[in-house]
A and B are shown apart, each in its own frame.
Chain A
Amino acid sequence: MSISERFISYFLEGVAYCLSFVSILIYTIKINRETQFKILTGFLFLVTVIAVKISVRKGVSNSLLYSYIYLLNSVGWSLFFFFLFKDPVRKAISLVPGLITLIYFIQKVVLSEFDRVFDSIGYVICSTGIVLLLFLYFQYLLANVKSERLSMNFNFWLSCSQLVYNLGAFAIFLTYNHFTLRILDDYTPEKRSILTSLWGVHNLLLFLSSIIILIALVWISRNRLPKNNILQNKLAEGTPMIKPN
C-alpha cells in the first residue's frame, strides 16, 4: 500500500473531521453565534477527537469508537435541526432520528455483548435519519423563500455537505459489516486491503463534505457585507427606514 493510499484509508478521516470542526468553529466565533452552531461545534469536537484516536492506533478493534461516532453524529444533527426549525412539528420530527439511534445504541452497545465487527445497522440508521432531516430542511427552505442569496446561507452549505457524505457513504455503511464478516471467514492480507480501500472511499466522501464546509466559510466571509455597508445598501435600494422620534 502506497503512502497516499495509507493516508486516505487511515488518516483522512481524522483530517476531514478536523477541517469540518475548525470551519464550523470559525463560523460560530466570527459570523453566527446561534445555539445550533455552538451545539454542532461541541459534538464535532468530540467526534474529531475520536476520529483522530482511531487514525492513530492500529491492530485493535475500533468498532466501539465507531459506534460512539454514529451516536454523536445522529444526536448532534438532531439537536442542530431542532434549534434550526421554528415550527413545533418540524422540531418534534427532528428529535426522532436522534432518539431512535440512541435507543439502538443502548440496545446494541450497552445491553448486548460487545461486538468486535463494525456496526453497519447503527450507521445506516444514523445516515437515514440525517438524510431525512436534510430533506425536511430543504422542504422548509423552499417553503420559506427569502431575498437573501442561497449561497450566503451557511445552513444550506452544511446540509449539502451532509447530503453528499451520508447519501454517498450509505452503500459503504450498509455493506461493511457483511464484507468484514466474509473476509474474517477467509482472512488474507489482500482481501483486507480491499476492505481498507473501501473505507478510503468513505474517507474521501467525508473529506469532500468538509471541503464544502470550508468553501462555504470562505465564500460567506468574503461576500459578507460589513455592518456599516448594510445600512448604506438599504439606503441605496430605497428601503424605507423608521425615523427616530
Chain B
Amino acid sequence: MIFLKNLISYWLEGLSYLILLAALVFGTLKIDRSIRFKLVCVFVFVISLIALRISSQKGVSNSLQYSFIYLLNTICWSSYFYLLFNSKLKRIVVILIASGALTYFFYKNVILEFDLIFDSVGQVLSSVGIVALVFIYLHQILSTVKTEPLTQNLDFWIASSQLIYHLGAFGIFLTFNHFTNKILNTPFYNKENRRILTYLWGVHNVLLFLASLLVCVGVFWIVYRKKSKNQPDYKSQ
C-alpha cells in the first residue's frame, strides 16, 4: 500500500510524462511528421527530465522546477496551437496567452525574490491559457468539418488529453499554494497535514497519467486503423 501511495504521489508524474513522450514520438514517426509534433516532442522531453528530477529528489524545495514546467508547458502548447491554427486572429490570441504567462514567470522568478512555496498563480495562468487554446481549436475543427472521422485526427486526441489534465487539475493548482501556506503556518505542523497535501498532488498525477494514456490510446487507434485500411481485402477477390 505504501509503495502504491509513493508511486502515485511521487513517481507517477515522471512516469506519465515519459508515457506521453513515448506516445508522441511514436505518433510523430508513424502518423504525422509535422513540425508541431516534433516541437512538442522536444518540449515534453525536457519536461520529462525535470519531472523525473523532481521525483528523485526529496526534502528540498522544487518550486523553481515546477515554475519551469509551467513555463515550458505554456511555450510548448502555444507554439503547437500557433502552428495548428489557420486564422490570424487565433494566432494573435495564442501570442497574447503565451506572453501573459511568460511575463508573469519573469516577474515572479526574476524580479521578485525566490519563493520556496509552489507557485499556484503561474500554474493557473498556464492552465487557463492552454484550456482557452484547446477551446479555440475545438471551435476551429467544428467550423471546418471534414469527411475524415474525428478519431483519426491526432490533434484532436492531444487537445482532449490537455483539456482533461488542465481542466481537472485546475482546482488543485489554484488551492495548492494556499494549503501549503496554511499547513506551514499552523502551530501543530505534523506529518498528517503534509500527507494530505501529498495525496492532493497524487490526484493531480492521476489526471496527468490519464491524459498521457489518452494520447497513447489515440496514437495506437490511428495506427491500428491505418494498418487495417492498408491490408488487402481477401473476401472481395
- Within 8 Å by CB of A110, from B53, B60, B111, lies B53
Chain B CB within 8 A of A29 CB: no
Contact with B65, one of A65, A68, A110 (Cβ below 8 angstroms): A110
Pull 7 A–B residue pairs with CB atoms less than 8 Å apart, ordered by A.
A49-B110, A49-B111, A65-B110, A106-B49, A110-B53, A110-B68, A111-B50
Contacts of A46 in B (CB 8 A): 106, 110
CA distance A106 to B72 in the complex (A): 11
Question: Counting CB contacts under 8 A, is B167 at the interface?
Answer: no
Query: Does A64 make an interface contact (CB < 8 A)?
Result: yes
Judge if B114 is at the interface, Cβ distance under 8 Å: yes
CB distance from B120 to the nearest CB of A (A): 20
Say yes or no for B213: interface residue by CB 8 A criterion: no
Binding site for B on A (CB under 8 A): 46, 49-50, 53, 60, 64-65, 68, 106, 110-111, 113-114
- The minimal Cβ–Cβ distance linking A96 to chain B, given in whole angstroms, is 15
Q: Which one, B53, B65, B114, contacts A64 given CB within 8 A? A: B114
Q: Which of B50, B65, B110 contacts A53 (CB 8 A)?
A: B110
Sorted nearest first, the 10 A-B pairs with minimum C-beta distance are A111-B53, A110-B68, A110-B50, A50-B110, A68-B110, A53-B111, A111-B49, A110-B65, A106-B46, A46-B106
Query: What residues of A have a CB within 8 angstroms of the CB of B64 in the complex?
Result: 110, 114
**Which residues of chain B come closer than 8 Å to A68, judged between CB atoms?**
110
A111 to B52, CA, bound (A): 9
Binary per-residue interface labels of chain B (85-126) against chain A in the complex, 1 for a CB within 8 Å, 0 otherwise: 000000000000000000000100011011000000000000
Residue of A nearest to B106 (CB): A46
Measured between C-beta atoms, what is the minimum distance from A115 to chain B in Å? 12
Chain B residue at minimum C-beta to C-beta distance from A111: B53
Write the chain B residue with the least CB distance to A68: B110
A209 vs chain B, min Cβ distance (A): 23
What is the distance, in angstroms, from B145's C-beta to the closest C-beta of chain A?
37
Q: Besides A49-B110, A110-B64, A111-B49, 18 other CB < 8 A contacts? A: A46-B106, A46-B110, A49-B106, A49-B111, A50-B110, A53-B111, A64-B114, A65-B110, A68-B110, A106-B46, A106-B50, A110-B49, A110-B50, A110-B65, A110-B68, A111-B50, A113-B60, A114-B64
